[in-house]
């Protein structure tokens, strides 16, 4: 069901409401995590999504959102859609109801005091009172090659502000859904459906990729030769695999599996799980995050088998691959308006199926610079396109033989004041109809298109790059129970 508007203003009779929700302790993870945790919160929030609805979701460190149906949507490039969204949000009054109430009681001032406050506030992402004015969040996804994407504000959503605070946001025609959520939340743990079991019983058929393996390997060999002749320093080649299940697979359950493993305290954050547009996945790569004037990004390039990360430092091809991706961001920081830059030395990020070289860059931005504008400056980085950018784009369009769509495009969350986080859409699958057409709406999906890419240098070996992409796809194969 599409209940949204495609203009920059909602139907006049509809109003937007929010209230604070008392979530059970278990929603925030174990007592050893004083700030709460994203994944347990996400599993709790997902359990409210009705079986016939497709979740819209962003779950990871920082603000989290789990909602459904379209409350308002804004189409355009990342910058123009975010401008329309922000303009709409600025002009859309948000009525705060008393905690746990959906009635037409007079609007009350939201108070952080209504939240359970943790003892320590050491996390820089911990919410401040002003954050409550910013909860009319939008989720967006945009194509790799530029052009129009969409920012959507769900018609009803649970919002986790890291993470010991939960708000409910809804459009007035979704009050019944909001009341239902509050009733379940009050009753305690609403016993999430058991996604593990329900995914069993599907038979999967591999329908192959858009480009057959032999053709793809030949195309990549031709690309490597062109790099050896000095046409470019690096480009990123991707491939896809299309799988069809005998049973419809609920998007909600796939998301649930993607957040089944909690980030451990004191360890690096692994990934942000998302269901936005026609893609579902968990991306570890942060293009740009801004919050209260702080900027951060995480550049990933250079990959090996899990547990072998330290060996990446001894492999000149991997070190170079990372350096090129890192430089592609570093040289644009001034243009993006980032000052007081601090860049970590490359380190290892360990994910379930691969280890990566990562660089974390932080800095300051002025209030006038929003997360979408910065993201548009960086995208496409050399981690998913190449260097020089234009030549790499050309190599991709000549050799890859398929449309990426939103794969490797910016995906993320944005607040009315422009703060937000945009990741690169990696480690994800696109949902298709049985005829192979993009399906961003259905709650249950039979046909899934898995995608992955890898950085190519003159020293690359085509078969190894093919295998690396297979390992990257493992995350989604496991989430779908293909393997
Ligand atoms: C394009 C992808 O990975 C990029 C991000 C991290 C590491 C990469 C690599 O080592 O090749 C790629 O640059 C992908 O995961 O599909």
Render pLDDT for 183-221 as a digit per residue (tens, 0 to 9). 888 877 555 444 545 556 689 999 999 999 999 999 999
Does 9 have pLDDT greater than 60? no
Tell me the mean pLDDT in the region 429-456: 97
The helix (run of H) or strand (run of E) holding residue 304 is strand 294-304
Domains belonging to the chain, first-starting first, are: 16-197 (no CATH), 200-479 (3.60.120.10)
pTM score, whole prediction: 0.93
Q: What value does the mean pLDDT take over residues 472-478?
A: 97
Ligand 1 centroid to 174 CA: how many Å?
Answer: 40
pLDDT, tens digit, 9 for 90 and up, residues 125-175: 666 667 788 999 999 999 999 999 999 999 999 999 877 788 999 999 999
Backbone angles phi, psi at 17, to 5 degrees: -130, 155
Q: For residue 371, name the pLDDT band (cuts at 50, 70, 90).
A: very high
Closest by Cα among 302, 299, 278 to 288: 299
Query: Which of 300, 379, 456 is the pocket-test mutation for ligand 1 (most atoms within 8 Å of CB)?
Result: 300
**Which pLDDT does position 1 carry in this prediction?**
34
Q: For 44-57, what is the mean pLDDT?
A: 95
Beta-carbon contacts of residue 373 (< 8 Å; ≥ 6 apart): 79, 82, 336, 337, 418
Ligand 1 touching residue 426 (CB < 6 A): yes
Helix (H) or strand (E) holding 328: helix 316-330
CB atoms within 10 A of CB 280: 27
What atom in ligand 1 is closest to the CA of residue 303? Answer: 10
Per-residue model confidence (pLDDT) at position 194: 47
Q: Report, in angstroms and rounded to the nearest whole number, the Rg of the chain calculated over CA atoms.
A: 22
Task: Return the higher-pLDDT residue of 184 and 320.
Answer: 320
Mutate to test the pocket of ligand 1, among 411, 454, 467, 474 (most ligand atoms within 8 A of CB): 454
Length of the chain: 483
CB atoms within 10 A of CB 84: 19
Distance set, CA 482 to CA 106, 135, 200, 241, 390 (Å): 51, 37, 10, 12, 37
What is the rounded CA–CA span in Å between residue 38 and residue 241? 30
**What b/e readout covers 234-243, taking b as 16+ CB neighbours within 10 angstroms?**
bbbbbbbbbb
CA-closest residue to ligand 1 atom 1 = 453
User: Among 23-27, 352-356, 380-384, which is the least confidently predicted range?
Assistant: 23-27
Q: Beta-carbon neighbour count of residue 185 at 10 Å?
A: 22
- Give the pLDDT confidence of 391-426 residue by residue, as tens digits: 999 999 999 999 999 999 999 999 999 999 999 999
Q: What is the DSSP secondary-structure string of 145-179?
A: TSS-EEEEEEEEEEEEETTTEEEEEEEGGGHHHHH
If DSSP codes are grouped into helix, strand and coil, which group holds residue 307?
coil
Is it the case that residue 10 has pLDDT exceeding 70? no
How many Cβ atoms sit within 10 Å of the Cβ of residue 316? 9
pLDDT at 428 over 60: yes
Closest CA to 241 of 214, 208, 215, 211: 208
Residue 117: pLDDT band (50, 70, 90) is very low
Ligand 1 neighbour 392 (Cβ under 6 A) = no
355: which strand partners?
304, 350
Q: How many CB atoms lie within 10 A of CB 16?
A: 21
Of residues 98, 141, 123, the one with CA closest to residue 33: 123
Query: Between the CA of residue 267 and those of 262, 333, 350, what are the distances in Å?
Result: 11, 27, 10
Q: Cβ atoms within 10 A of the Cβ of 129, count?
A: 12
Instruction: Find, among 399, 361, 401, the residue nearest to 381 by Cα.
Output: 361
pLDDT at 393: 98
Ligand 1, atom 11, residue with closest C-alpha: 454
Is 236 touching ligand 1 by the criterion CB < 6 Å? Answer: yes
**Ligand 1 pocket, 303 CB below 6 A?**
yes
What values do phi and psi take at 139, rounded to 5? -115, 140
Give percent of the chain above pLDDT 70.
87
pLDDT at residue 258, rounded to an integer: 95
């Amino acid at each position: 069901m599409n209940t949204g508007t495609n203009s920059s203003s909602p139907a006049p009779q509809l109003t937007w409401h929010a209230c604070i929700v008392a979530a059970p302790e278990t929603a925030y993870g174990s007592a050893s995590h004083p700030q709460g945790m994203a994944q347990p919160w996400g599993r709790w929030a997902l359990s409210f999504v009705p079986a016939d609805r497709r979740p819209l979701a962003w779950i990871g460190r920082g603000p989290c959102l789990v909602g459904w149906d379209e409350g308002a949507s804004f189409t355009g490039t990342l910058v123009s859609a975010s401008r329309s969204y922000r303009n709409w949000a600025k002009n859309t009054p948000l009525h705060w109801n008393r905690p746990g109430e959906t009635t037409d009681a007079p609007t009350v001032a939201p108070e952080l005091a209504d939240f359970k406050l943790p003892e320590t506030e050491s996390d820089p992402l911990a919410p401040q009172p002003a954050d409550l004015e910013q909860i009319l969040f939008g989720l967006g996804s945009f194509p790799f090659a530029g052009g129009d994407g969409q920012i959507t504000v769900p018609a009803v959503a649970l919002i986790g502000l890291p993470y010991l605070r939960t708000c409910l946001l809804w459009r007035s025609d979704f009050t019944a859904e909001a009341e239902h959520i509050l009733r379940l939340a009050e009753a305690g743990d609403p016993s999430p459906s058991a996604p593990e079991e329900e995914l069993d019983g599907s038979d999967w058929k591999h329908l192959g990729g858009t480009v057959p393996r032999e053709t793809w390997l030949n195309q990549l060999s031709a690309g490597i030769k062109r790099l050896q002749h000095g046409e470019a320093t690096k480009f990123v080649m991707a491939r896809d695999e299309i799988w069809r299940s005998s049973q419809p697979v609920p998007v909600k359950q796939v998301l649930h599996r993607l957040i089944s493993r909690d980030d451990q305290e004191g360890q690096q954050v692994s990934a942000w799980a998302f269901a936005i547009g026609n893609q579902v996945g968990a991306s570890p790569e942060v293009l740009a995050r801004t919050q209260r004037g702080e900027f951060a990004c995480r550049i990933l390039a250079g990959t090996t088998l899990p547990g072998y990360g330290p060996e990446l430092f001894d492999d000149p091809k991997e070190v170079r691959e990372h350096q090129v991706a890192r430089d592609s961001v570093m040289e644009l920081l001034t243009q993006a308006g980032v000052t007081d830059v601090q860049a970590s030395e490359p380190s290892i990020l360990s994910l379930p199926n691969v280890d990566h070289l990562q660089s974390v860059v932080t800095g300051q931005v002025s209030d006038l610079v929003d997360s979408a504008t910065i993201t548009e400056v960086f995208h496409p980085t050399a981690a998913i396109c190449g260097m020089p950018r234009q030549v790499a784009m050309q190599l991709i369009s000549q050799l890859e033989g398929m449309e990426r769509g939103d794969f490797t495009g910016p995906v993320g969350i944005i607040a009315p004041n422009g703060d937000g986080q945009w990741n690169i859409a990696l480690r994800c699958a696109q949902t298709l109809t049985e005829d192979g057409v993009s399906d961003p709406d259905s709650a249950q999906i039979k046909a899934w298109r898995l995608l992955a890419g890898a950085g190519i240098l003159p020293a690359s070996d085509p078969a190894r790059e093919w295998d690396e992409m297979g390992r990257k796809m493992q995350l989604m194969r496991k989430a779908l129970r293909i393997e």
